[in-house]
């Protein structure tokens, strides 16, 4: 009898000890990236966000890092997504832009291109993508490693780079949008066949349904007081002149236009909900990770500018749908059973003509024309064609093979180019990148440039524009990519399991997101991570 009792209590003690020693983690982590969302958008449109919408709910119940900065240049989509989820910078991750000049291949390389894989879900080549150009792990990879690959990771975005670079190398899947077919696709890097639920979703023809509805403002246009008047001449006009927009003519014909409407984000929300349900995310003992990037804010911002009625309407709709998405997660995964963070990959500059009409400095620098003119001048001076190969990422890439063959010194050519560049009104500085630590620069800017430099993928001459100026290819719309606060001050909101309620104005960085998630989950930080834990966030 004593032996039986001893055995019973031993088993009970062992069970309790085991239960007590189990590492507490959320059922699901949801990493949301709003493509081209400046920090000030949180408060600029605050009064019109819904009380039960996503942003006010997070601000009310979660934690916000009010002074989160991007610590590198160029501040573009690929660099942002890779940094958020790896805690690394282009100098280490190798993702130095959406594309970069490859000296060995003598061509521009897209950040996620991979000709060794095939498209799944379409007959186009838009699925020939993978994370192989990313040189580091992501927090999603580290979660997979920590659970011996029993955690499930899925990345979703209209943009291929938004889904792929977030989810990392070992993801179960990454899905992106094929603008030639209106389908969600992936590549053979992840699987051999598109899942049945994705095929079913594609068969439902969501894009045609959105086109049939058109883009109508959430509220009367006259009430959009935080925006400029509609129909500004410096705004793009992909749908005609006057808002609202009738989109019926695109049904079955042009599947790319949806991205430049709020319905591109709606499509992403619907696909994400389906993924949570069909992949059973958050349903077992191992934490899963869903990354979702909302690309339409970027397309809208580039086309119409951050001060447009269209941009305001896009943010108000995003907020409302974010609230619905969080309600869905509460129902499917469980309230306070998931951790969610929301940030942005970059901000955006005001349209230069908007600046000028409001007596603010600004202008356009047409890099393409500038480079062509420089190559003509270089040919006249050095009797060699195409000495400049690329002006990607605010950098000039020189033709080293031609220079070596002709025995022309790089410094001589670079000095000539720099003198010519500095004649351009909008260019503030131009210098050899290898001399970045020798010239007079504010430390913040020097750090940004060093963090963005990768010797195998960066150029020879760095260009810095004056504040308010931007690289342009046309006379409408705007862009991003520089070190200025309008491009690099981003939101960072935390919500749910393990998150304190509150805020901090302490300066933190995009690189701090991944190590904070790692600390929350009690796993190793990614292998190229240089960030630090934002300790105020965690309970």
Question: Could you give the residue numbers annotated as active site?
Answer: 77
Classify residue 483 by its DSSP letter. S
DSSP readout, 435-453?
A: GTTTS---HHHHHHHHHT-
Neighbour-count burial of 251, counting CB atoms closer than 10 A to its CB (0-12 exposed, 13-18 middle, 19+ buried): middle
Neighbour-count burial of 4, counting CB atoms closer than 10 A to its CB (0-12 exposed, 13-18 middle, 19+ buried): exposed
Count other Cβ atoms within 10 Å, centred on residue 423: 7
DSSP readout, 30-74?
A: EEEEETT--TTHHHHSGGGS-TTSHHHHHHHHSEEETTEE--SS-
Task: Report how far residue 345's alpha carbon sits from residue 275's, in angstroms, rounded to the nearest whole number.
Answer: 23
Count other Cβ atoms within 10 Å, centred on residue 390: 18
Strand duo 183-187 + 489-490: pairing: unpaired
Structural element, H or E, at residue 428: strand 427-432
Strands (DSSP E) found in 300-415: 338-343, 363-365, 388-390, 395-398
* Closest C-alpha among 338, 339, 340, 359 to residue 350: 359
**Cβ–Cβ under 8 Å, residues 373 and 365:** no
């Amino acid at each position: 009898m004593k032996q039986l009792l001893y055995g019973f209590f031993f088993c009970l003690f062992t069970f309790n000890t085991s239960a007590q020693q189990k590492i507490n983690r959320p059922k699901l982590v949801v990493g949301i990236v709003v493509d081209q969302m400046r920090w000030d958008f949180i408060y600029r449109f605050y009064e019109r966000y819904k009380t039960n919408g996503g942003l006010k709910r997070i601000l009310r119940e979660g934690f916000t890092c009010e002074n989160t900065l991007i610590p590198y240049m160029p501040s573009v989509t690929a660099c942002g997504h890779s940094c958020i989820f790896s805690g690394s910078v282009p100098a280490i991750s190798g993702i130095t832009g959406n594309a970069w000049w490859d000296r060995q291949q003598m061509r521009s390389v897209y950040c996620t291109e991979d000709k060794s894989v095939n498209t799944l879900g379409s007959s186009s080549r838009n699925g020939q993508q993978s994370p192989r150009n990313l040189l580091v792990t992501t927090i999603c990879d580290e979660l997979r490693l920590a659970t011996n690959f029993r955690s499930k990771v899925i990345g979703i975005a209209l943009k291929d780079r938004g889904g792929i670079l977030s989810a990392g190398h070992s993801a179960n899947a990454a899905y992106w949008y094929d603008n030639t077919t209106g389908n969600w696709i992936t590549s053979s890097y992840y699987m051999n066949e598109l899942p049945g639920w994705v095929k079913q979703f594609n068969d439902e023809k969501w894009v045609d349904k959105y086109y049939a509805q058109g883009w109508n403002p959430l509220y009367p246009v006259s009430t959009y007081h935080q925006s400029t008047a509609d129909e500004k001449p410096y705004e793009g006009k992909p749908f005609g002149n006057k808002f609202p927009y009738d989109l019926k003519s695109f049904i079955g014909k042009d599947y790319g236009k949806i991205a430049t409407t709020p319905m591109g984000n709606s499509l992403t929300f619907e696909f994400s909900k389906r993924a949570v349900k069909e992949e059973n995310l958050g349903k077992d003992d191992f934490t899963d990770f869903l990354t979702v990037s909302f690309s339409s804010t970027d397309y809208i911002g580039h086309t119409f500018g951050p001060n447009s009625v269209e941009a305001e309407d896009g943010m108000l709709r995003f907020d409302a749908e974010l609230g619905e998405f969080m309600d869905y997660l509460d129902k499917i995964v469980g309230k306070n059973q998931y951790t969610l963070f929301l940030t942005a990959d970059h901000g955006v500059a005001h349209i230069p003509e908007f600046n000028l009409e409001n007596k603010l400095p600004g202008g356009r620098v047409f890099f393409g024309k500038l480079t062509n003119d420089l190559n003509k001048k270089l040919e006249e001076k050095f009797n060699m064609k195409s000495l400049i190969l690329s002006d990607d990422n605010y950098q000039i890439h020189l033709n080293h093979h031609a220079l070596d063959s002709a025995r022309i010194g790089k410094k001589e050519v670079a000095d000539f180019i720099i003198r010519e560049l500095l004649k351009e009104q909008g260019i503030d500085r131009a210098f050899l990148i290898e001399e970045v630590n020798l010239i007079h620069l504010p430390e913040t800017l020097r750090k940004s440039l060093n963090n963005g430099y990768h010797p195998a993928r960066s150029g020879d001459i760095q260009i810095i524009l004056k504040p308010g100026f931007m690289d342009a290819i046309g006379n409408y719309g705007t862009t991003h990519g520089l070190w200025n606060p309008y491009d690099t001050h981003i939101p960072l909101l935390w919500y749910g399991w393990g998150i304190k309620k509150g805020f901090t104005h302490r300066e933190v960085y995009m690189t701090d997101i991944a190590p904070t998630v790692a600390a929350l989950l009690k796993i190793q930080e990614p292998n190229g991570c240089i960030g630090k834990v934002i300790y105020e966030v965690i309970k």
